[in-house]
A and B are shown apart, each in its own frame.
Chain A
Amino acid sequence: MSHTTWKRVLWQRQPYPDNYIPPDSFLASLRRNPSFTPYTYWPLVLSCCPITQHLGTIFIFVAVFVRLQERSLDARLLLWISVACFLVGYLVWEVLDYSSPSRGPLTRSSLLKSSLLFFLTLMSLAPVLKTLTAATSSDSIWALSACQFLMNTLLADYGYAKSGPQRRLSSVLSMNAAISSSVVLASRLPDDLSVFSLVLFAVQLFALFPMLRHRFGAVPPILQVALTVSISALSFALTMSLSPFVAALTSAIYVTVNVVAPGILVWAQRYKKQAVPLYSFP
C-alpha cells in the first residue's frame, strides 16, 4: 500500500481501491441526538390531563344516557344542569377573557342571540330526532355510536390554543363524530324532552367544553389537576352505580392514560437514536 495518506476528496485519484474505508474517519462527523431534549415525567402527566378530561366527558355522557333511558333521571333536571353548566362555563370564559383577551368573533349580544336560536331550533327538532333511527335496530346504534366516540377520542385536539381562533380539520371532524353519535343515541330515548335535553347536554360537553379546554393553557396546573380529578371522579361515581365492572374499566383507562403512558414514554426515550451526520440539514 502506498504511503500517501487517504484524503476525503473525489477530484483526486488516490492510490487506494474504491472500497477502501479509512479506519478512523468513517462516520467521524456523525452526531447522536444533537437537537434532543428529553421529556420529564411530571410535565407529561400534566399534558395528559386534557385526554383524561375528554375521556371523562364521554363516560359521563354515556352514564347520563343510560339513566335517561332507564328513566332513573328526570329530563327536566338534566335540562337545568345543562343550563347551569352553560352559565358556569360562560363565566369561566369571561374570566379567562379578562385575564388574556382573545379576539373572538362574537360579541355578547350575538352570542345570546345564537344561543337562544340554537335552543329553540333544537327544541323544535326534538320530535324529528326522536324518530330518526326508528327503523334501525338498537345493536347497530350501539356499535355506530361506539365507533364514533372512538373517532372523536382519536381526532380530538388536546393541545392548547396558541393564537387565533383557527381550528384544525381533525378537531372539527372529532366534534362532528361526537355530536352525531349523541344524536343517534338520543333517538333511542322514549320522549321528546329527554331527546332535547340529551342533545343539549352533548353540545355542552362535546362542542363547548373542548373550546373552553383549549384556553386552559393559561390556568395554573393545580386547577388543571383539580378539574381532571373531579371530572374523572364524577364519571366514576356515575358509572359505579350502573356497573362496577365498567367503573373499574374506566378508572383503569384513566390510570393508564395519565400515569402509566407518560412513564412508558419517558422510559422509551433511551432507545432514541437520532443520527445526524454533520452538515446535513435539516
Chain B
Amino acid sequence: MKDGALSIAMVSDFFHPDVGGVESHIFMLSSNLIRKGHKVIVITHSHPPDRVGIRWLLPSLKVYHIPFPTIASSATLPNYFTFLPYFRTIIVREHINLIHAHASLSSLGHEAILHSHFFGVRTVFTDHSLFGFEDAASILTNKLLAAALKNVDAVICVSHTGRENTVLRGQLFEASEDNPSLSAVRPSVYTIPNSLVAEQFTPSPQPLPSDTINIVVISRLAYRKGIDLLVATAPRVCAAFPNVKFIVGGDGPKLNDLLQVRERHLLQERIELLGSIRHRDVRDVLIRGSIFLNTSLTESFGIAILEAACTGLYIVSTRVGGVPEILPEDMISFTDPDEDDLFWAISEAIQIISEGKHNPQDAHERVKGFYDWMQVAERTETVYRSVMQSKPIDLWARIQRTMSLGPFAGPIYTAILFVDCLFFMVLEWLMPREDVDHVHVHWEPEVFGKLVASMN
C-alpha cells in the first residue's frame, strides 16, 4: 500500500443488494477511494439466505455481512453491544484506521461510532436525509442521532439544507471560541454533495416526437414524495393540454390513489403506470419524456432530479430541502408545494418544451461538468486527513460530552458507554488480539478486475 493510504471501513445497514441513494453512494465513494489507493471494506447486515459472510465486489471491495435480523425497511435493531464482538474482530484483522458510518437510521453505523475509540479508530458520519422535529418517531430517532454524534470526529452532509437539519437534530454546536456565551456549529461539519455517473444518463440520440409531450415521474409513491399533489394536479394538466402524457415509475402506498384518479377521470391512455423500476432501467424510462416532475415534500439532495437533468429532461420541482442547490435556476422550474402553483409551473415547462427552448444535449453537457465522483472522493479524503490529524477525544471528554445530552438521556448513554468499556475488556480477555487472524494481502484492483473478467 502507498504511503499515507488509509484503511477505511464503511459501516451502514443500507448496502447492496438493497437499492437506493445511500447504497449507491457508499458503493461509488468506496470504489473511487480504492482507485485513489486506499483500502476500503464495507460492513453491513446479512441478507439471508444467500448474501451472508464475506463477499467481494468489483473493484476489489470487500463486504462483511453481519448476521443480524432487520426490523423495518432494512434497518437493524439498535442494541448497542451485540455488534462489538464482530466489529472488534473485523477492525483488528483488517487494520482499520477510520470508520465511515452512513445514514442516520442505521444502528450499525451508530454502534460503530460508539465502539471505535477502543481501537484508536477515527470516525466520520454521513447523513443522507432530512427529518422533522415534531412527531414522536422523529424525537426518538433524533435523540439516538444526537447521542451517536456527540463523539464523532467529523460529520458530512449531502447539501447545505441537509447540514442545517443535521446540525439541529444532532446538536452539533458547542461554545464558540471567540465568545463562550454564544454557541457555534462545530468546525467538523462538512457539506459534500452526492454525485452521479453522467455516462449512464445520456440523452436519447434521436429527437423525441414533437406532437406529444411526456412528463416523467420516478419516485417511491409515498406521502413524503408528494404523490397527493400529483394526484390532484395530473387531471387538471391532462384537461388543459391534450398533447401531454404522464409516465409514472415507482411503487408504494399511494399507488391506489393514482389508480383511482386515473379511473375516475378516464385517463388510462394518458397516465401510464410502470410499477417499480430497476435502477439500470431508469434511463430507458427517462429518455421517453421531455419534462421530469418531482413533487417531494422533503428532499435532502434529490439524486433522481439530477439523473433526469443529466438525461436532458427539463425539471419541474417543488422548492423543498436541498433541491434549489443542486442545479442552476435556468434548468429547473420551481413551485411551492400547492396545487395551483404546481399547475402553473407545469404549464410554463410545457411552453418551454413546445417552443423548443430546451436542448437535451446542452443540458447533459452542463450537468456532466457539475458533478464527478472522483471529486467527491477527493473532498471526502480531505475530511479523512483532517480527522486523522485532529486530537482523539479521550474517555473523560467522551463522558462529559455524553452527559451533556440532557438530564435524562445523558446518564443512560453514559451507562451504555461504561458497560461497553467493560464488555470490551471482557472480549480482550476472552479473545486475545494475538489469536485474531490478520489480513496481510488485499486484492489489487487491476488483478481482481482481470480475474473477474476472465471468469465471465
Contacts and interface: CB of A to CB of B under 8 A. Distances in A.
Interface of A: 8-13, 17-19, 21, 26-27, 30, 274-277, 279-282
B241 interface: no
A17 B379 CA distance: 9
Nearest to B383: A18
B154 to A, nearest CB: 8
A279 B326 contact: no
B319 A10 contact: no
B326 A19 contact: no
A282 B192 CA distance: 26
Q: Which of A10, A17, A21 has the most CB of B within 10 A?
A: A10
Contacts, number: 69
Contact of A281 (B133, B192, B297): B297
B165 A277 contact: yes
Given A10-B322, A279-B320, A19 B298 contact: no
Interface string B156-195: 1001110011011000000000000000010111111100
A19 B160 CA distance: 10
A274 B134 CA distance: 7
B370 A12 contact: yes
Given A12-B370, A275-B133, A281 B326 contact: no
Given A10-B191, A10-B322, A27-B164, A282 B382 contact: no
10 pairs of A and B residues whose beta carbons are closest in the complex: A11-B370, A10-B193, A18-B190, A281-B297, A10-B325, A19-B190, A279-B320, A9-B325, A27-B164, A8-B160
Given A10-B191, A12-B370, A277 B379 contact: no
B337 interface: yes
Given A18-B382, A280-B161, 13 more contacts: A11-B326, A11-B328, A17-B382, A18-B156, A18-B190, A275-B168, A279-B319, A279-B320, A280-B132, A280-B165, A280-B297, A280-B320, A281-B320
Interface residues of B, number: 39
B298 A281 contact: yes
B325 A19 contact: no
Nearest to A282: B297
A21 B321 contact: no
Contacts of B190: 18-19
B201 to A, nearest CB: 15
B81 interface: no
Nearest to B325: A10
B375 interface: yes
**Interface core residue of A8, A27, A277, A280 (most chain B CB under 10 Å):** A280
Given A8-B325, A281-B298, A21 B185 contact: yes
A277 B160 CA distance: 12
Contacts of A10: 159-160, 191, 193, 301, 322, 325-326
A275 B382 CA distance: 32
A11 B371 contact: yes
Interface in B34-88: none
Contacts of B164: 26-27, 30, 277
B126 to A, nearest CB: 12
15 contacts: A10-B191, A10-B193, A10-B322, A10-B325, A11-B325, A11-B328, A11-B370, A12-B370, A18-B192, A19-B187, A274-B133, A274-B134, A279-B321, A280-B297, A281-B337
B325 A280 contact: no
Interface string B317-333: 00111101111100000
Contacts of A26: 164, 185
Interface string B104-124: 000000000000000000000
